Amino acid sequence: MNLTALHEEKKQKWWIWHKKNPKVWELFQRFTFEAINSGRKNYSHWAIIQRIRWETDIVTKGDSFKISNDWIGYYARYFHFRYPQHKGFFKTKPLKHERGSQYGIIQEKEEENRIKAEQRYNNC
C-alpha cells in the first residue's frame, strides 16, 4: 500500500471518529475563535487540542475524549476548509504523501511500522 492510500485510509478513520465525537469539533471551533478574537494572527492547533483535553478531563465532569495525536492536523485542515477566511491561522506541515518522492521508501517504512505498532497496541 502506498502513502496516498494509507493517507486516505487514515483520513477516513478520522472522519468516522470526527462524526462520532461532534463535541470535539464544537470545542475546536470555540477555542480557535477565542484565539482569533484575541488578536492572534496564528496559533497552534496542538494547543487547541490540549485545551480540549484539559477542559474535558479537568474542568468539566462530562465525558473526556481520547483524541489521537494523529487527528490534530486533520482538525486544523478542516478548520481552514470550513473557514477559508482564516486559512493559514494554523501552521500545518505537508502530510507524508504530499512531501514528494524525496522521502520515498523511508517514509513508507515508517508508516508501516506505525501501523504495526498501532495494531499491536489495539490487540493488547
Encode the chain (124 residues) as per-residue pLDDT tens digits: 555 666 688 889 989 989 988 999 999 999 999 999 999 999 999 999 999 998 887 665 555 668 888 889 999 999 999 999 999 999 998 876 666 655 555 666 777 888 888 888 888 6
Paired residues of 90 in beta bridges: 43
- Give the three cell numbers for residue 18: 470526527
Judged by DSSP in three states, 90 sits in: strand
- Judge whether 89 and 38 are in contact, CB under 8 Å: no
Q: 4 φ, ψ to 5°?
A: -65, -45
Residue 94 CB-half CA count within 13 A: 10
Rounded-to-integer distance, Cα 82 and Cα 59, Å: 28
